[in-house]
A and B are shown apart, each in its own frame.
Chain A
């Protein structure tokens, strides 16, 4: 399978530009562009050095340790891994239906994770670009600049994220590495004091989330053509939906729709996801390319995450978020429903849903009950799927008779979106870079397209003094002709 600009016809005669790592995403990514002497783009690729050491990391460990261990994969979404692994372990211990308390404790934990992750993404990764413009001075285009120019937005962003973290801390019992979910249920319920503590701020979080949706909606309305057209392409979407078609971030069946909204499959039991999704390996990328089996490698790729979920569901089961879903779908006769930057808009709709959902669950007396665990008949295989902040997350494990993990397979949202992100990079390269002299502002356009997907590269190493950004221009002989670097403190350095 090849796509336009994926592979140049005569790469040996072209100049290579590498952007490494992509800034403001977790971990390390690299974009390479092959340009000719007139700066025309002939090839554009996003390479991601995906973490593949996980299987070895957990091999031989007892299955009940896994929900806690997997939290160490990622510093941004540990709860998603915790819950996906726990759902897989539910199957291994033969549990298919949790107690109401366990189900709701996991759901509120998950909504806390969605809230804090979406708040971080929007206010601290993307709002600098959206509020200041992609070409704005790099010295201004960051969260510190947001704090200075828009202190109200910055403050609410910090406190929304803080609230989400507090939901996680209270529900999981610890600030990091909590262990709320265990195979077959949970190990704690909320106390009345904990519930009341969270309820104090719940209304305000809903109000602030509504304001966040309004900010993105206003930005789209002000520059409709720009926001809809930036990195635009059409694709299929996939994600979980509830039995009645509602958005459900914690549990459901898999639904996929094509680029015209036609159903490819619906309410699929994810325990057999491999009957519907395959992964393709390409020689130039460490990360696999998943595709829908029935449509083949050429047409079967799809996107996941907020844009996919809001498009795919029939309704959102909280009223304010559902009203915003309808407004999104109706905006300019549906012109934003495939837009790359609409990920931001739909992400804020989901943040509103999470805030509403948390408030609703806190009023549910089941959260205070002590009916926590169910037991069943042990099996040797478990699959857990959850809608993580960035998209569908699949955990698949096999154990042996000694309860040790012998095989694990994870398909994370960044992998599902691999082809989509590459397509976005190619579109932006054509729209903004083709025939142009490269500048930091133009290169940032590519990063803006990638950040819309918020790739999480499962890399929690962040030691001081790391994370430089380097752009290298290489001639057809392979020699470096120019180099521009951005250090971790934001300083830009040109030359070798």
Chain B
């Protein structure tokens, strides 16, 4: 288990068009992330990722979104019984809930960066608009990494809202 205090967890399928936004974000952010930041990726957000939240001070979840307002949406994630009917589309809020249920501890302050995508067909590259949205999200990420505290990130949430 890493002791990095900040976890950035991005997910998506790199071969499915704009679903690659999450992994691509992570690849690009690697240049900006310094020590104390761990970058993790996977195809999907799943229950076992609750284990990755242990001993973190701050967590940023990043995924493509088919419904958020372009170019992106930043929000604070609360622990809640997010009653999805499918673990296939498990939400960050539900992962936080599983973390609390299985460890008995409160999860670290967590945020969700949803980057707007439009097309998710197999074999397609990132679309032009998704690339623009990615650049905007990376600019925000630079600000988040400059001051990685819940207080500073909350101000960005307000600003994005």
Contact A57 B44 (CB under 8 A): no
Judge whether A466 and B89 touch: CB under 8 Å.
yes
Which of B67, B86, B114 has the most C-beta atoms of chain A within 10 angstroms of its own C-beta?
Answer: B86
Q: Which residues of B are found within 8 Å of A158, using beta-carbon distances? A: 47-48, 50-51, 98, 102
Which one of B14-22, B132-140, B145-153 is at the A interface? B14-22
Is B83's beta carbon under 8 Å from chain A? yes
The distance in angstroms between the C-alpha atoms of A147 and B81, with both chains bound, is: 10
Is A125 touching B43 in the complex (CB atoms < 8 A)? no
On whether the beta carbons of A463 and B43 are closer than 8 Å, the reply is: no
CB distance A75 to B81 under 8 Å?
no
Q: Does B141 contact A (CB under 8 A)?
A: no
- CB pair A54 B40 closer than 8 Å: no
Report how far A490 CA is from B65 CA in the complex, Å: 18
Pair A175/B42 contact, Cβ less than 8 Å: yes
Contact yes or no, B122 A24, CB < 8 A: no
* B88:A26 contact, CB within 8 angstroms: yes
The size of the chain A interface, using a CB distance under 8 A, is 53
A72 interface residue per 8 A CB criterion: yes
B47 near A124: Cβ-Cβ < 8 Å: yes
- B110 to chain A minimum Cβ distance, whole angstroms, is 15
Q: What 0/1 pattern do residues 160 to 202 of A give for CB contact below 8 A with B?
A: 0110010000000001100000000000000000000000000
Number of interface residues of B (CB under 8 A): 45
Interface pair B83/A489, CB less than 8 Å apart: yes
Nearest residue (CB) in B for A165 is B48
B48 touches A489 (CB 8 A): no
Residue of A75, A462, A486 near B85 (CB, 8 A) is: A486
Q: Is there a chain A Cβ closer than 8 Å to B13's Cβ?
A: yes
Min CB distance, A211 to chain B, in Å?
Answer: 16
| A144 sits at the interface (CB 8 A) | yes
Residue B120, interface by CB 8 Å: yes
Given contacts A147-B97, A490-B82, contact A463 B44 (CB under 8 A): no
Q: Roughly how many angstroms separate A428 CA and B68 CA in the complex, as a whole number?
A: 38
Q: When chains A and B are docked, how far (Å) is the Cα of A26 from the Cα of B86? A: 8
Asked if B161 CB lies within 8 Å of chain A CBs, one says no
Residues of A within 8 A of B13 (CB): 72, 75, 460-461
Q: In whole angstroms, what is the CA distance A54 to B156 when docked?
A: 41
CA distance A424 to B91 in the complex (A): 30
Chain B 75-89, CB-CB to A under 8 Å as 1, else 0, gives 000000111111111
Residue B7 CB within 8 A of the other chain:
no
On chain B, the residues within 8 Å of A465 by CB distance are 65-68
Please report which residues of chain A, range 412-470, place their CB below 8 angstroms from some CB of chain B when the two chains form the complex. Answer: 460-467, 469
- A490–B122 contact, CB under 8 A? no
| A75 with B44, Cβ < 8 A, contacts A142-B85, A151-B101, A465-B65 known | yes
B89 to chain A, nearest CB (A): 5
Q: How far is the CB of B77 from chain A (nearest CB, A)?
A: 12
Interface residue B123 (Cβ < 8 Å from any Cβ of A) = yes
A432 to B68, alpha carbons, bound, how many Å?
Answer: 39
Whole-angstrom distance between the alpha carbons of A72 and B41 in the complex?
14
Return B101 CB to nearest CB of chain A, in Å: 3
The residue in A54, A116, A142, A165 that gathers the most chain B C-beta atoms within 10 A of its C-beta is A142
B116 CB, min distance to chain A CBs, angstroms:
9
Residues of B within 8 A of A369 (CB): none
Give chain A residues whose Cβ lies under 8 Å from the Cβ of B44. 75-76, 460, 462
Q: Nearest chain A CB to B23's CB is how many angstroms away?
A: 9
**A120: which B residues are within 8 A, CB to CB?**
46-47, 87
- By the criterion CB–CB under 8 Å, are B122 and A57 in contact? yes
CB of A282 within 8 Å of the partner chain: no
A166 to nearest B CB, angstroms?
9
1/0 per residue, CB under 8 A from B, across A110-151: the answer is: 000000100010011100000000000011001111011001
B118 to chain A, nearest CB (A): 10
Q: Is the CB of A176 within 8 A of B42?
A: yes
Is A72 within 8 A of B14, CB to CB?
yes
Within 8 A of A (CB), among B18-50: 18-19, 40-48, 50
Interface check B94, CB cutoff 8 A: yes
Q: B64 on the interface (CB 8 Å rule)?
A: yes
A residues in contact with B41, CB < 8 Å:
175-176
A147 near B102: Cβ-Cβ < 8 Å: yes
Shortest beta-carbon distance, A55 to chain B, in Å? 11
C-alpha spacing A422/B65, complex, angstroms = 33
Assuming A53-B123, A78-B43, A158-B50, is B66 touching A147 (CB within 8 A)?
no
Q: Within 8 Å of chain B (Cβ to Cβ): is A108?
A: no
Q: Pick from A72, A159, A175, A488: contact of B89, CB below 8 A.
A: A488
Which residue from chain B places its CB closest to the CB of A140 in the assembled complex? B83
Does B117 lie at the interface of the complex (its beta carbon under 8 Å from any beta carbon of A)? Answer: yes
Cβ of A464: which chain B residues have Cβ within 8 Å of it?
A: 63-68, 89, 91, 114
11 residue pairs from A and B, CB less than 8 Å apart: A23-B86, A25-B88, A54-B122, A76-B44, A123-B47, A147-B101, A151-B101, A162-B51, A488-B84, A489-B84, A491-B83
List the 3 closest pairs (A to B, CB-CB), nearest first: A490-B83, A465-B67, A75-B43
Q: Which B residues lie at the A interface, using CB under 8 A?
A: 12-16, 18-19, 40-48, 50-51, 63-68, 81-89, 91, 94, 97-98, 101-102, 114, 117, 120-123
Given A144-B97, A465-B65, A467-B85, list of 11 further CB < 8 A pairs? A53-B122, A57-B123, A75-B44, A120-B87, A138-B85, A144-B101, A155-B102, A158-B47, A460-B19, A462-B89, A463-B12
